[in-house]
Amino acid sequence: MKNNKQNLSNYDGAAGGWGAVMSSAAHVLTQKAPVRDTIAMFKMNQDKGFDCPGCAWPDPEHRSPMELCENGVKAVSWETTSKKASPEFFAAHPLNVLWEQSDYELENHGRLTHPMKYDIVTDTWQPVAWATAFAEIGGVLRQLQPDQVEFYTSGRTSNEAAFLYQLYAREYGTNNFPDCSNMCHSPTGAGLGASIGIGKGTVELSDFEAADLVICVGHNPGTNHPRMLSTLREVAARGGKIVSVNPLRERGLERFSFPQSPTDMLTGGYTEISRDHYQIRIGGDAWFFRGVMKSLLELHEHRLANKASPVLDQAFIDSQTSGFGALVDSLQRLHWDDIEQGAGMSQEEIAGFASLYARHQRVIICYGLGITQHRNGTQNVQQLINLLLLRGNMGREGAGICPLRGHSNVQGDRSVGINEAPDEAFNLRLEKHFKIKVPRKHGHSSVDSIRAIERQESRALICMGGNLAVAMPDPQRTFPAMRSLDLQVHVATKLNRSHLLAGKNSYLFPTLGRTERDVQLSGVQSVTVEDSMSMVHASTGSLKPASPWLKSEPAIVAGLARATLPASPVKWEEMTADYSLIRDNIEAVFPEFREFNQRIEKAGGFRLDNPASRGVYRTATGKATFIPCTTEAIDDRGLPADHLVLATIRSHDQYNTTIYGMNDRYRGVTGRRDVIFLSQQEADKRHLQQGDVVNIVALEANGDTRDGRVMLNQTVHIVSMATHSVAAYLPEANILLSLDAYDEESMTPAYKSVPVLISKVS
Ligand SMILES: Nc1nc2c(c(=O)[nH]1)N[C@H]1C(S)=C(S)[C@@H](COP(=O)(O)OP(=O)(O)OC[C@H]3O[C@@H](n4cnc5c(=O)[nH]c(N)nc54)[C@H](O)[C@@H]3O)O[C@H]1N2
Ligand SMILES: Nc1nc2c(c(=O)[nH]1)N[C@H]1C(S)=C(S)[C@@H](COP(=O)(O)OP(=O)(O)OC[C@H]3O[C@@H](n4cnc5c(=O)[nH]c(N)nc54)[C@H](O)[C@@H]3O)O[C@H]1N2
Ligand SMILES: [Mo]
């Protein structure tokens, strides 16, 4: 096959800057709604405005007139588009025809406008009245056992809608709550929960003003949380140090030109974010951080022997933590050869990182999916905590842990009850408050739900947003499983591939987006969301809805609930008429939301209590706990010597399975997505050059291959990258992933460590 270098280059600019402005403007124009968009942009992330449906990075206290970023603009214009996927469109496009279109084309047909029902004879979505659809769905659900039904939530759902949704599913009788956080930050919930007694980050924005070192591990802020770059820029500008631990050199972590700074924009200036990049092997984090801790212990001993100041904060360790001895034992048993091999870095480099860490007094560790999406995701998270605890970097200003959560309300959905394993205290509160019975049996998270559907044990799937079939690994198994269901209900803003897997009794419901005015019987409603730093605030849409037939998510849940549970004592209709009543009920069930309605009146909202930030650890021992690592991301016994480890990553022009465009500007890719990223060294070993075309075959743990887990004709793009590593875009590369490779502690799929072989197509 011919060498195909077209549209692959190296991007030399800073992140942000004019490139971001030009790209934002281009996106607004392609969505054909410049006026709606401009109004929307001025309302985004402002008091009394709507919360950006992009990322979960918090809003600063002193907001600029437009608190937005390039990718927020894309997310908004994608929602506010004037394009419509109307009943006429669906009548003319059977699903087997739509199936041939790309994910980009599917969503680019525009907003869904009518409630639809699948017609198997014509293979099309056909309009249906809301009341008819609700009644039919209620009828099917009443015929099923509650545990045969899966209730999926994607993280844009507001607190109000999510609370009603969990109440509906539990009153119906199941805890089956597959959730998008099962695919990203469940290891954060599980890992931090066991280590520090709360499954959430501990820092606030103000901590970044006090930190002297910020360590960014396995996340890509330039693309996925661009507003974080202004925070990092401030840290760098006042002399704080920022380092990254990432197999790829991501531009947003190198330099940033602030689109809202006239000086940067007019002079082409930029702020250097970081020069220190630790390019670890994909899947090498636990090795790297154990190596850092081992070095730190050695440094500590050395200092003590020389009567110099200690490195470890022994007073903190003694009074606030447990498990120190077990951690030290486990580190002492490790051999440097294995650490170097596992991390893909020399002992010297790792020791350099340890001494850098030891020189700083207030340290924040930020991390993303590069840490969580591995077989040992939970333990990876815990190694970051171990490192922080060794020097008392927890429970005090300027220090702590900062997971970069995904969807804009994924954290809030969990806070209001989307949880497959509820505790008894919560069950009792829910029962008492609503005078209902709720199930005790724990339910399914995402991987379990797909497996139960595959085994035909689960017969119905309700999706509150998202694109579950495409977001999960292993389409070879997931897609046929979906098609076999007796009932599917999708609540969505735009068409996606999951909606093309319709079968018996399938419904597609159009809903209001965050930007749109939500009018109910008592007037215009606000909803609330929680950001990555536990700040809860109101979001109020102001644009005219894309169609008069749209319903809000709370109204859809209430409609389904009433149709399924006609005798329910819950006041579904009253709560839908006035969302402040939903908030009163949230407050009654979750004491941490006390004075909910009053506190969201305040600009910026309020912070949910986070005991670990105050140095209070609600763990079994009442102390912060060191937890050693016992599982590796990759077990390479049984794998061929020339295998590589593949991570699936996001391009700059996409939001999860939503593809806004075909460019990945900061990585030098234009107009295409059929690309794999490789280091020069790994390319040389395989006699590959930039632009060569390769096939990628996924390997089972024992080195075998399985039918279908192969990606053909991908073009090599040589970039600055760790050895033994290769990266490709999701969702195209999901075909290489296995539904059986996941972190057992959190059930999060190993999206970022698939053993593969690559071979040149000749
Ligand atoms: N514009 C935009 N914003 C988004 C999203 C989006 O798709 N588009 N998605 C949202 C969601 S749901 C989420 S969860 C977040 C995701 O945000 P991120 O956590 O930033 O997600 P990714 O882009 O998947 O991967 C991040 C980084 O992990 C690195 N990496 C890969 N493997 C490893 C490894 O083994 N170790 C280490 N240390 N690093 C590794 C990659 O090089 C990449 O830089 O962003 C949210 N925000
Ligand atoms: N290979 C690989 N796969 C991955 C990942 C990875 O890193 N690698 N990351 C995983 C992660 S972190 C996540 S979070 C999942 C994402 O999984 P999901 O959350 O299921 O997927 P999204 O692509 O975010 O969902 C897009 C759809 O959401 C709908 N939508 C948008 N806005 C709204 C709204 O306001 N309300 C409603 N009801 N619907 C709306 C639109 O119809 C759109 O088509 O993907 C996972 N999949
Ligand atoms: Mo996510």
pLDDT at site 65 = 45
Predicted pLDDT of residue 253 = 81
| 283 within ligand 1 shell (Cβ under 6 A) | yes
CA–CA separation, 139 and 742 (whole Å): 36
Q: Does residue 511 line the site of ligand 2, with CB under 6 A?
A: yes
Q: Which residues of the chain have pLDDT under 50?
A: 65-66
Q: Which residues of 659-694 are buried (b: 16+ CB within 10 A; e: fewer)?
A: bbbbbbbbbbbeebbbbbbbbeebbeebebebebbb
Q: What 8-state DSSP symbol labels residue 59?
A: P
Which ligand is closest in space to the CA of residue 249? 1
- Looking at residue 701, its pLDDT comes to 83
- In short, whether 220's Cβ falls inside 6 Å of ligand 1 is yes
Q: Are 470 and 731 in contact (CB under 8 A)?
A: yes
User: Measured at the alpha carbon of residue 727, what is the angle toward residues 100 and 663, in degrees to the nearest 5?
Assistant: 55
- C-beta 468 within 6 A of ligand 2: yes
Q: Identify whether 87 is preceded by a cis peptide bond (ω within 30 of 0).
A: no
Strands 658-659 vs 654-655: parallel, antiparallel or unpaired: antiparallel
| Distance (Å, whole) CA 543 – CA 252 | 32
703: burial class by Cβ within 10 Å (0-12, 13-18, 19+)?
A: middle
Ligand 2 geometric centre to CA of 498 (Å): 11
Is the Cβ atom of 252 under 6 angstroms away from ligand 1?
no
Q: Which atom of ligand 2 is nearest to the CA of 112?
A: 42
Q: Which residues contact 756 (CB under 8 A, 6 or more apart)?
A: 643, 644, 645, 646, 696, 697, 698, 699, 726, 736
Whole-angstrom distance, CA of residue 531 vs CA of residue 402: 12
- Whether 446 contacts 183, CB under 8 Å: yes
403 alpha carbon, distance to own chain's centre: 10
Q: To test ligand 1's pocket by mutation, which of 79, 246, 446 has the most ligand atoms within 8 angstroms of CB?
A: 246
Distances (CA, A) of 334 to 293, 337, 345, 629: 11, 9, 15, 11
pLDDT tens column, 430-472: 999 999 999 999 999 999 999 999 999 999 999 999 999 999 9
How far is residue 675 from each of residues 161, 247, 398, 662, measured CA to CA in Å?
39, 17, 40, 11
The per-residue pLDDT for 172 is 98
Residue 655 Cα to ligand 2 midpoint, Å, equals 7
**Gap between the Cα atoms of 681 and 674, Å rounded:** 21
- In the structure encoding, which two tokens stand for residue 412, read together? 């809030």
CA 646 to each of CA 186, 225, 282, 283: distance values in angstroms, whole numbers, following the listed order: 21, 23, 7, 9
CATH, domain 84-177+415-514+552-589, list 3.40.50.740, 3.40.50.620, 3.40.350.10, 3.40.50.920: 3.40.50.740
* 249 CB near ligand 1 (under 6 Å): no
Q: Which amino acid is at 668?
A: G
CA of 417 to the centre of ligand 2 (A): 20
Indicate if ligand 2 lies below 6 Å from the C-beta of 648: yes
Check if 85 has its Cβ closer than 6 Å to any atom of ligand 2. Answer: no
- Helix (H) / strand (E) element for 200: namely none
> With contact defined as beta carbons under 8 Å apart, do 711 and 689 qualify?
no
702 alpha carbon to ligand 3 midpoint, in Å?
A: 29
Which ligand is nearest the CA of 657, by number? 2
Mutation pick for ligand 2 pocket among 225, 493, 518, 653 (CB with most ligand atoms within 8 Å): 493
Atom of ligand 1 nearest to the CA of 223: 1
For ligand 2, whether the C-beta of 465 sits within 6 Å is: yes
For the Cβ of 69 lying below 6 angstroms from any atom of ligand 1, the answer is no
| Ligand 2 midpoint to CA 472 (Å) | 10
Residue 82: its pLDDT value, please?
Answer: 87
Distance, in Å, from the CA atom of 617 to the CA atom of 196, rounded to the nearest integer, reads: 5
Q: Is 406 in the pocket of ligand 1 (CB under 6 A)?
A: yes
CB 377 within 8 Å of CB 187: yes
Tokens of 626: 């060191």
Q: Which residue in 289, 276, 277 sits closest to 342, CA to CA?
A: 289
Nearest residue (by CA) to ligand 2, atom 22, is 466
Tell me, using a 6 A CB cutoff, whether residue 285 lines ligand 1.
yes
Query: For every residue of 67-123, which 3-state class applies, written as one string?
Result: CCCHHHHHHHHHHHCCCEECHHHHHHCCHHHHCCCCHHHHHCCCEECCCEEEECCCC
- Mutating to test ligand 2, I would choose from 77, 116, 183 the residue with most ligand atoms within 8 A of its C-beta, which is 183
Which ligand sits nearest to residue 646's alpha carbon? 1
Name every residue whose Cβ is closer than 8 Å to that of residue 314 and which is 6 or more positions away in sequence.
Answer: none
What is the structure's pLDDT at 262? 64
Contact present, 278 and 243 (Cβ < 8 Å): yes
- Domain 186-403, CATH 3.40.228.10 — does that match? yes
| CATH 3.40.228.10 residue ranges for the chain | 186-403
Burial 9-34 (b: 16+ CB within 10 A, else e): eebebbbbbebbeebbeebbebbebe
Sheet bearing 149-153, strands edge to edge: 124-127, 116-119, 506-510, 487-492, 460-464, 149-153
Residue 104 burial class via C-beta count within 10 angstroms: exposed 0-12, middle 13-18, buried 19 and up: middle
CATH of domain 644-760: 2.40.40.20
**Beta-ladder partners of 725:** 645
Q: 383: closest CA among 307, 317, 284, 457?
A: 284
Please report the pLDDT score of residue 195 as a whole number: 98
pTM for the model stands at 0.94
Tell me how far the alpha carbon of residue 294 lies from the centroid of ligand 2, in angstroms: 39
Read off the pLDDT of residues 40-92 as tens digits, 9 standing for 90 and up: 555 666 666 777 777 778 877 655 544 557 777 777 788 888 899 999 999 99
Nearest to 158 by CA among 415, 360, 370: 415
Residue 110 Cβ contacting ligand 2 at under 6 Å: no
Q: In which residue ranges of the chain is CATH 2.40.40.20 found?
A: 644-760
Dihedral of CA atoms 49, 53, 58, 64 in degrees, nearest 10, equals -50
Nearest listed ligand to the Cα of residue 650 = 1
Q: How far is CA 56 from the centre of its chain?
A: 9
How far, in Å, CA of 545 to CA of 512, rounded?
7
